[in-house]
């Protein structure tokens, strides 16, 4: 009996409706708002003009924040990749019966509010925080180091937020590699390092690329770590959007910045799909 063609769509309709109402419709509103005018009185005037986009590129202050956002996102990706691949590979090679508990610990930060996790760095890196307290008590320092409200503190906050995403993506990719391939490589004369370089690393690249893309996109759109841990010169593009929309209620200009960020991330995802294939992400989740 032939299956009716409308049945799959009927099953997908609840999720498609949610995506349409909660994602597509708000984005359409933002795009429309980006063309409106901001009156001197503070009112938003419906219009169709590109003044908000021109305003963003006329003053280098705004593009400089976008450039800083891309740079910080790339730095976060590199740090997460270097620090995330090692534990993911350890989990892959481990035969310990406690491996499931270790994996649970990796996911433990997701059980705690992101705001609380970010605020906790103030008690660690602050002038009266744990690190400065220990260094002064041990006689290494006479006065506290200034470790907060700079780019390094922002990177620390982003790293503790995004590192589990990288570890889990890489581990899922590694877990799909048959360990008999390593035994075959060693039986053919490969050393442990050669077997890793020639077998494990290439086969784990889908998870690596998926983790890098996910970390980059999440970093580019986050605003809490820069707002809480960064100084006046460490704003990222999401902080600029927040200040324009919430701080000054300039919805047209804030919407235009949001569209610029959305287009930039769309180009990055398209480029990834063009040269690496976005289907590799879904392969790592199978």
pLDDT of amino acid 277: 57
For 64-76, the pLDDT digits (tens) are: 999 999 999 999 9
In CATH terms, 47-95+154-284 corresponds, of 1.10.10.10, 3.90.730.10, 1.10.3720.10, 3.40.50.720, to 1.10.3720.10
pLDDT of amino acid 285: 42
Which of 70-79, 94-103, 132-141, 268-277 has the highest average model confidence (pLDDT)? Answer: 70-79
More confident call, 188 vs 229: 229
214, 264, 278 from 270: Cα distances, Å? 14, 10, 9
Question: Among candidates 236, 211, 85, 78, which has minimal Cα distance to 151?
Answer: 236
33 within 8 A of 251, measured Cβ to Cβ:
yes
What pTM was estimated for this model as a whole? Answer: 0.86
- In the predicted structure, residue 5 carries a pLDDT above the cut 90: no
For the chain, what are the domain ranges? 47-95+154-284
pLDDT of amino acid 227: 92
pLDDT of amino acid 278: 53
More confident call, 272 vs 240: 240
Q: Token pair 């980059």 is at which residue? A: 216
For 121-166, the pLDDT digits (tens) are: 999 998 888 999 898 888 888 888 888 899 999 999 999 999 999 9
To the nearest whole number, what is the mean pLDDT of the chain? Answer: 87
């Amino acid at each position: 009996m032939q299956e009716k063609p409308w049945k799959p769509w009927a099953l997908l309709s609840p999720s498609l409706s949610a995506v349409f109402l909660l994602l597509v419709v708000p984005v359409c509103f933002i795009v429309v708002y980006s063309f409106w005018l901001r009156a001197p009185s503070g009112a938003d005037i419906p219009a169709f003009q590109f003044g908000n986009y021109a305003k963003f590129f006329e003053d280098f202050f705004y593009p400089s924040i976008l450039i800083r956002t891309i740079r910080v996102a790339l730095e976060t990706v590199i740090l997460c990749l270097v620090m995330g691949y090692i534990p993911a590979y350890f989990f892959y090679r481990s035969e310990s019966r406690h491996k499931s508990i270790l994996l649970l610990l990796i996911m433990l930060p997701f059980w705690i509010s992101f705001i609380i996790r970010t605020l906790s760095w103030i008690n660690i890196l602050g002038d009266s925080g744990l690190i400065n307290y220990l260094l002064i008590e041990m006689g290494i320092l006479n006065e506290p180091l200034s470790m907060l409200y700079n780019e390094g503190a922002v990177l620390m906050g982003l790293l503790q937020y995004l590192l589990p995403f990288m570890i889990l993506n890489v581990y899922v990719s590694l877990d799909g590699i048959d360990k008999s391939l390593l035994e075959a490589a060693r039986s053919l004369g490969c050393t442990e390092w050669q077997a890793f370089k020639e077998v494990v690393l290439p086969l784990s690249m889908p998870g690596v690329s998926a983790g890098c893309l996910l970390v980059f996109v999440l970093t580019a759109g986050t605003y809490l770590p820069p707002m809480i841990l960064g100084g006046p010169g460490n704003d990222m593009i999401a902080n600029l959007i927040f200040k324009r929309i919430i701080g000054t209620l300039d919805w047209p200009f804030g919407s235009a910045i949001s569209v610029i960020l959305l287009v930039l991330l769309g180009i990055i995802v398209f480029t990834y799909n063009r040269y690496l294939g976005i289907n590799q992400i879904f392969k790592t989740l199978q």
